Amino acid sequence: MLNLYGSEISGVEEELNEGIGKTMVIDRLSTDLSMLKVLFPFVSYIKIGWGLAFLTDTNSLIHRISQIKSYGIGVSNGGTFLETCFVRGKFEKGLNLLKNSGFNYIEISEGVCNIPKKERKIAAEFAKSNDLILIMEVGKKRIAEQLTLNETIDKISEAQEFEPDTIIIEGRETGKGVEIYDELGNIKWDWADSILECISLEKVMFEAPLEKQQVELILRYGKEINLGNVSVDSVASLASQRLSLRGDTFSMDKHMEVFEGSPATKFVLHIIKNSIKIDQGSLISATGLSRRTVQNALTELIDSGLIQENTDIRDLRRKIYSFIR
């Protein structure tokens, strides 16, 4: 079978890709594109990061974009590109440069500066009229300018007015101290859960540059979660995690797909399944969920016959939980 651009996709690859989320890879203009010969089925689109499109001549840029698209992979600008164009009074010229260079995704962000609604509307209409895929990113890059959770949700609502294909949640290249990540790169689950209450899983993409973050997000929300700012070196690792071909997510699908529970309950199930025995306090620490959410999940899993509750013989006040294999 051929994809949109004529690259061959085997039946096995097509079956493996069924139901998995989008993967956006960041390109520094130094990425070795030869890896796409093997990994192209697992890359949705490549973002030529930041304002890097300014650093190369037009012919070289067009050639690189053409190379990427020959594998059936889309190409996006980094959001900073259009922010720079706006500050320099060349916003519409920047949009035309993207189209003429062969970009088939257009990203609008406000990571460094705010772009007025008028210009965002112009970009959205430009994308629609030129059959380009519109991406909007929410979040600030500088630590001192970070949005609150409520401000993030408001920005997501604003972005939805322009009907983008996907809304990206800023994660930068470090994955630390920005949006859903704390200063150490740990995921703030209350933020992630709140974001997914206002936008569907298929419409949002979390930038997750660290492999640890990718694994944790897959475990929490499933293989269909969209992940961005993935380095080229992490593409194979991420694909194997999505497809349960590594220890962290091994056989995850077997139980998750037949169990119709919430993402939080599935996450609790995974933690229990990969522990010999675990108590409620340890589950709260491991998942970052509230006590009530964990208690509700445990009740649901016991009623479903997936886990069992026993009294700890060393402490009769303590309940421990284990997976029924």
Q: Are residues 121 and 197 in the same domain?
A: yes
Q: Are residues 213 and 100 in the same domain?
A: yes
Range of the domain at 69: 11-246
In a domain, 216, yes or no: yes
Q: Are residues 112 and 193 in the same domain?
A: yes
Percent of the chain clearing pLDDT 90 (strictly above):
63
The pTM of this model reads 0.77
Q: Are residues 226 and 269 in the same domain?
A: no
Rounded mean pLDDT of 67-90? Answer: 94
Q: What is the side-by-side order of every strand in the sheet holding 307-312?
A: 278-279, 315-323, 307-312
pLDDT-based confidence at residue 6 (cuts at 50, 70, 90): very low
Q: Are residues 27 and 93 in the same domain?
A: yes
Q: Are residues 176 and 233 in the same domain?
A: yes
**Of 209, 230, 246, which marks where a domain is finished?**
246
Q: Are residues 153 and 240 in the same domain?
A: yes
Strands (E), the chain: 23-27, 45-48, 74-77, 105-108, 133-138, 166-169, 204-207, 226-230, 278-279, 307-312, 315-323
**Of 246, 265, 283, which marks where a domain is finished?**
246
Q: Are strands 278-279 and 204-207 parallel, antiparallel or unpaired?
A: unpaired
Residue 23 has pLDDT above 60, yes or no: yes
Q: Are residues 28 and 148 in the same domain?
A: yes
pLDDT, tens only, 128-170: 999 999 999 999 999 999 999 999 999 999 999 999 999 999 9
Q: What are the angstrom distances between the C-alpha of 276 and each of 34, 96, 321?
A: 43, 58, 9
> What is the domain count for the chain?
2
How far is it, in rounded angstroms, from Cα 42 to Cα 4? 15
Q: Are residues 152 and 168 in the same domain?
A: yes
pLDDT-based confidence at residue 16 (cuts at 50, 70, 90): low
pLDDT, tens only, 178-210: 999 999 999 998 899 899 999 999 999 999 999
Non-local (6+) Cβ contacts of 94 within 8 A are 81, 82, 84, 85, 86
**Of 223, 246, 269, which marks where a domain is finished?**
246
